[in-house]
Amino acid sequence: MRIQVGIIGAGPAGLLLSHVLNLEGIGSVVLEARSRDYVESRIRAGVLEQGTVDLLTQSGLGARMAQIGLLHRGIELRFRGERHRIDFPSLTEGKSVMVYAQHEVVKDLIAARLAAGGDLRFEAKVDGLDGIDTAAPSIRYTQHGAAKILDCQVVVACDGFHGIGRTAIPSERLRVYERVYPFGWLGILAEAPPSSDELIYARHDEGFALFSMRSPTVSRLYLQCPADVDLGDWPDARIWDELERRAEIPGGWPLARGPVLQKGVTPVRSFVAEPMQHGRLFLAGDAAHIVPPTGAKGLNLAAADVRTLSRALVRWFRTGNEDLLEAYSATALRRVWQAERFSWWMTSLLHRFDETGPFGQRIQLAELDYVTSSQAAMRTLAENYVGLPFAD
């Protein structure tokens, strides 16, 4: 079979690219190693920038998000027993963010692609790529025990950090930038109503804590922990007590507790691979970059990659003009590095770094005092959090 665009990975990036291209009359096939049930049940963060919300809405995917998503007009920074709210609309000309879980976005995308007759091939393991330096690349894959080949004009790897796509770029062409932090996030999904209407980012001498939500009845909460933490040392009661302690304020506060549905540790790392293209192979999403979760940028960067790449592909297929396609990597990486910088800054601002000692802790508090007292500093945080303007 020959198709215009072969897409590896049925995560948000791959599915959104297939959906947007279909709206423009461009054919694609999506290959996914896992089953549909697995893909639709993967729990990931889901804070959507204003631009991501707009992109989903404009492409016909906003109905369920508008119905069950949680619109947030600010966040709270909590430190030294004090509460400080960052109001997004007043600082960003009316912008906000939407809390809408990634697996819900994936469900919407799969439903839309299937309703439109899209070709989604689950349990299709990609074995290799051929001819990416030519005008006729192909993808070798195995599905239900049968070896198959998909011939394309373009291959887009949206197959995540551990996927095969990035490894197809010659090592001498690829440059990698990486930082692995010496801690992780111990996260729980709990059957408990959110303790706050908006996300709380708490800085404490013992480490960072984040209070988020998935719905009006389910909370998502995180604690900074050692990278090699043993979950056996963290029974549910200890987690709840530590969450309450790290967000303490005078007079206490009503932390809603409930049964823990899931528990796990998320590593904290920064990663960027350059360039994001080689020949007729293009990378998007986690295949090209990872950000610390502190800035809530992972899914949003994937959507931004898709926005940039889809526009370039549409121009190329319609007119033969390759200018946008050749500039894809440089264009996407400018936004990637802005998001990396913001995520690094948020991580540095709120986490405990043992190597910096008491001096570093005092610097953090001084920075937080500045951020919450300066209109310019609050605007900088808000502008980055809701999403910087797209560079059209």
Catalytic residues: 72, 201, 293, 297, 385
Kindly tell me the burial class for residue 53, based on how many C-beta atoms sit within 10 Å of its own C-beta (0-12, 13-18, 19 or more).
buried
**Tokens at residue 205, please?**
């001498």
**Tokens at residue 156, please?**
């887009």
Distance CA 387, CA 2 (A): 37
CB 50 within 8 A of CB 386: yes
Distance CA 329, CA 308 (A): 9
CB 295 within 8 A of CB 339: yes
Q: How far is CA 387 from CA 105, 183, 308, 327, 383, in A?
A: 18, 26, 15, 22, 6
Distance CA 270, CA 290 (A): 5
